[in-house]
Structure 1
Amino acid sequence: MKVEIITHESGDLLPLLLDSNDMPIPAPNEFIISRRSLSPNTLVRNLRELSVLYLWLESESIDLELRITSKKFFNEAEIKGGLVEYLKRDHEKRRKVKKIVVTPNTFNQRLTTVRQFLSWYIDVVMGAIPFSSSSYEQTLANKQILLEFLDTSFINAPPTNRSQSKGLDGREIDFLLTILNPDNKQAFGRDPAVKYRNYILTSIMLYYGLRPGELLSLRVEDITIGAISSIRVERRQPDPQDTRKPRPQIKRNGRILPIEDPNFAKSIDIYITEWRDVLEEKSEQESDYLILSDDGEPLSQSSITQFFQLLRKKYSNDLPSHLTAKALRHSFSSQMERTLRYSGMDEDKRKQALAYLRGDSSLSSQDVYIAQEVEERAKVALQKYQRDLIMEDIPW
């Protein structure tokens, strides 16, 4: 059982769940087609979660449609002692070290998708049953019982410190930019064009909080250098010429971000007019994308992941172990929250500003950065309190 991604001529990506004979399984694929508004990456994850359900059905020799329409419906032992426990297990065969169970968050995601699918599938089956039939009422009652079994099976994840910083501190940011600065003779890397590209891609993520997909979707035309310099993050139709897998995409809101630092505007202009051309000449195909690989092709997300792995390994004493593209986005968000607070903006306005700058649709996703800043202020206040208390106890 595996997930296969089909690329249409329009550039759209459609994942399909295949059985052990490489044949599409109708029900989960129809469910995914009904959710085409979601990103391909989300649909792939949903199918992988549903594959666990179908592995369980296969192991128990259960025909899902027959079980739904028959009088012998799922009982609590089958769902809670069978399916739920199966969803908790790690079924990944490619790992060298096999885990016994998955994390609570992974399990909850699986259970959520399975619940959504079973609710949808029972509704589809009920659509073929006459409303006046006794089977309709029985199937509806069975659906409610099944969903109740699933709803009471979610795991409360262990408490975490949501305000704990996942970004970089000021010293780490300074060190990172120093060892990537192409003007630094000791900068990381050997190829001048690659060094300049690494500096630009890291700076864009750090200064503007772009997601990797947003960074890799940028095109040269999205950069404006002039009296008013800016970076335009824009959602576009799928590019059929883009062969990267997974294909980078912009899943959230587009936005226009001003480039206020003239030095950075000059650096990105030099990259576009000089060093990007050097990279592009290494490829037989021309590209409109801003960030190119060492071979002149559009850079992939796996290359960014590998880049930060190399940095963490080479500079393990100066860079944190959690240095990733996501860590740079966290750094941007935390610093922006602090800057907005110092400007006198109230909390609601800060959430709105952060949501716009980060391209988020939800204001609640900004709570973690508000909480982080509140915790930092609390620590400073505690330190001041303790210093004042010590000073009062010193006899003069």
Structure 2
Amino acid sequence: MSVLAIKHIQFRHGERHKLLVDVQTGIPLYYPSLFITTQVRAGGFSVSTVHASLTALKVLYAWQADRGLNLEALFLTGKLLRLEDITSLVGFSARLLSEERPRTTFKVVRLGFKAGRAVTRSVSNVTTQTQFSRLSTIGRYLGFLAETLRVGRTNCLADGAVSEMVGRINAYRPKTTHSTAVDRDEKGLDLEVVDDVLEFLRPGHPQNPFADQAVQQRNHLIVALLRYLGIRRGELLNLRVEDVDFSKSTLSIVRRPDSSHDSRRHQPLVKTKPRHIPINDALQKALSDYILRFRACFRQARKHPYLLVTHKAGPSQGSPMSNSSFGKLMATVQGMTHEFSAVHAHAFRHTWNYDFSRITDAAGNVSPEQEHKMRAYLMGWSETSGTAVTYDKRHIKEKAAKAALGFQEALKVRKE
């Protein structure tokens, strides 16, 4: 059985791409590469979507090996997947790949009884949303593969047979909902926790887990930008020095996919619309101090325009801060105290939206329509996007709770 891996490729002009390769030979798989290049990448989808699609194909080829099948040979003979094959594939698609398998989280599945005791095994499964996505990609790929192999061959596959097979696969996709056990709006952080994180990361604070003064300055700046601007992690790591306009007191969020200036293996991407966000004096001073006093000290930092850089001694010192380095920063913060365990980049975005709703509502001079438009611009959403409703749900719940209690009290007084 061949071991497959997703290989990251960066072209000279900066474009990123990914392919599924045989680990032993390093050669990309032909039909998966053709599918990804012509059906996914050519459609304008991001590198992260390409990666997710390749992961789904890895699952398909792992299932093929497990079943002892060769899909290409099968389709060339005019045969397609049978119903029992599809049901087996659906079950297999719920599994975690070996490199994704966690060490702790698992589901216990009962197999039977032996000597009066249940015999169990642990099975790690992906979420229903991930399984849905995998099966969607797998169905699309199998349809592509069958039709591609069918070209130039007569009486190989009956008309409509391929569509029927893909339809069956899609029909077995699990039902997904946009709601979870914990609403997305509840991912926001308590305001006291946010203030404590900023305080503990303040340069010179005795409980700051980072010893180096420059690192303290950078990390406090990172959390301040997340807290006060509500920007995404990709937007943060994509910031350039030139994006800070001190004369206009603004910070620009700019889309720069496949930038040739970005040396990072996995380029942070801006998913939202470009915009200019006003910044106050405190943020301007923090940005100025970091740029002039700390970032400027690294020779490597002078070779690229990105704002946040790696401070750790070594060959990467002064290079643009990577996603993995940012993840280590968040992990360190989470480990400081139990109250910080829920701290992550996107939670600050939820908290920002809650604060924005709370403060504009208290001001009393902003209409709901104006608030919606302002929020959409500052977050980088389209004015017609329904995303704002998700982030505003926490504040809506609080207002609904107050209204419900007020209604109950009114009924009580009326009854008395």
1:105-129 CA distances to partner (integer Å, 9 max, x unpaired)? 2211211211222233334344445
TM-score where L is the length of structure 1: 0.86
2:254–2:275 contact (8 Å) kept in structure 1: yes
The answer to whether the 8 A contact 2:261-2:304 is kept is no
Q: Secondary structure at the match of 2:251?
A: strand
Q: Tell me the SS of whatever aligns to 2:187.
A: coil
Aligned match of 1:336 in 356, 365, 382?
A: 356
Alignment pair present for 1:238 and 2:262: no
Q: Would you say the 8 A contact 2:185–2:350 is kept in 1?
A: no
Match of 1:32 among 25, 36, 46: 36
Segments of 5+ residues of structure 2 without an aligned counterpart are 107-122, 313-317
Query: Aligned in 2, Cα 1:241/1:371: closer, same or farther, shift over 3 Å?
Result: closer
Separation in 1, partners of 2:23, 2:166: 28
Query: 1:187 offset after TM fit, Å?
Result: 4.5
Q: In 2, are the aligned partners of 1:39 and 1:251 still within 8 Å (CA)?
A: no
Q: Is the 8 A contact 1:224 1:230 kept in 2?
A: yes
Please give the per-residue CA displacement for 1:69-103, whole angstroms capped at 9, x wherever unaligned: 534322211101x1111111222246463741222
Instruction: Indicate whether 1:306 and 2:309 are aligned.
Output: no
Q: Distance in 2 between matches of 1:291 and 1:68?
A: 51
- Partner of residue 167 from structure 2, selected from 148, 160, 164: 148
Match of 2:90?
Answer: 84
Q: Which residue of 1 aligns with 2:196?
A: 175
Higher RCO (C-alpha 8 Å, min separation 6): 1
Q: Is the Cα contact below 8 Å between 1:119 and 1:147 reproduced in 2? A: yes
Match for residue 232 of structure 2?
211
Task: Give the Å deviation of 1:387.
Answer: 6.3
Residues 1:351 and 1:63: Cα distance change in structure 2 (over 3 Å): farther
Displacement after TM superposition at 1:29 (Å): 1.1
1:60 aligns with 2:67: yes
What CA distance in whole angstroms lies between the structure 2 residues aligned with 1:61 and 1:6?
31
Please tell me whether the aligned partners of residues 224 and 231 of structure 1 are also in contact (alpha carbons under 8 angstroms): yes
Question: What's the CA shift string for 1:49-78, capped at 9, x where partnerless?
Answer: 111111112333333234335343222111
> Does 1:277 pair with 2:296?
yes
Tell me the residue number matched to 2:111.
Answer: none
Q: Residue 214 of structure 2 corresponds to which residue in structure 1?
A: 193
CA distance in 2, matches of 1:235, 1:284: 21
Q: Cα offset for 1:384?
A: 4.1
Which SS does the other structure have where 2:27 is aligned? coil
C-alpha separation in 2, matches of 1:343 and 1:41: 41
Q: Which moved more, 1:63-72 or 1:293-302?
A: 63-72
Q: Is the 8 A contact 1:214 1:250 kept in 2?
A: yes
2:15 is equivalent to residue 12 of structure 1: yes
- Alpha-carbon distance in structure 2 between the residues aligned to 1:26 and 1:209: 43
Q: Residues 357 and 395 of structure 2 are in contact (CA less than 8 Å); yes or no, is this contact kept in structure 1? A: yes
- Pick which of 327-336 and 350-359 moved more: 350-359
Name the residue aligned to 1:74.
81
TM-score, normalised to structure 2, is 0.82
Give % identity: 26
Amino acid at match of 1:165: E
The structural deviation recorded for 1:47 is 0.4
AA partner of residue 404 (structure 2): L
- Which of 316, 340, 356 is residue 377 of structure 2 equivalent to? 356
2:326 and 2:191 map into 1 onto residues whose CA distance is 22
Contact 2:135 2:169 in 1 (8 A): yes
- The Cα shift of 1:340 comes to 4.8
Residue deviations 1:204-230 (CA, integer Å, cap 9, x gap): 11222222121111111110112x211
Mean Cα displacement is larger for which, 213-222 or 262-271? 262-271
Q: Which residue of 1 aligns with 2:246?
A: 225
Give 3-state SS (helix, strand or coil) of 2:269's partner.
coil
**Partner amino acid for 2:53?**
N
Q: Which residue matches 2:130?
A: 106
**1:73 match: secondary structure:** coil
Secondary structure of 2:6's counterpart equals: strand
Q: Distance in 1 between matches of 2:274 and 2:368?
A: 24
Q: Aligned residue pairs: how many?
A: 381
Confirm or deny: 8 A CA contact 2:310 2:320 kept in the other structure. yes
Mapped to 2, the partners of 1:14 and 1:71 lie a distance apart of 33
Counterpart position of 2:311:
294
Partners of 1:105 and 1:173 in 2: CA distance? 30
Q: Distance in 2 between matches of 1:240 and 1:14?
A: 13
Kindly state the Cα deviation for residue 370 of structure 1 after the two structures are TM-superposed: 3.3
Cα pair 1:79 1:150 within 8 Å, conserved: yes
Task: Confirm or deny: 8 A CA contact 1:351 1:363 kept in the other structure.
Answer: no
SS at match of 2:186: coil
**Whole-Å separation in 1 of the counterparts to 2:194 and 2:409:** 29
Letter in 1 for 2:32: P
Q: Residues 339 and 291 of structure 1: is their aligned pair in 2 closer, same or farther, counting only changes over 3 Å?
A: same
Listed one character per residue, the Cα deviations across residues 323-360 of structure 1 (whole Å, up to 9, x for unaligned) are 1011112212332344455543335x544443332223
Q: Distance in 2 between matches of 1:271 and 1:93?
A: 38
Alignment partners' CA distance in 1, 2:413 and 2:204 = 48
CA 1:385–1:43 in 2, change beyond 3 Å: closer, same or farther? same
Tell me the residue number matched to 2:285. 266
Structure 1 range deviating more: 381-390 or 261-270: 381-390
- 8 Å CA contact 1:257–1:357 kept in 2: the answer is yes
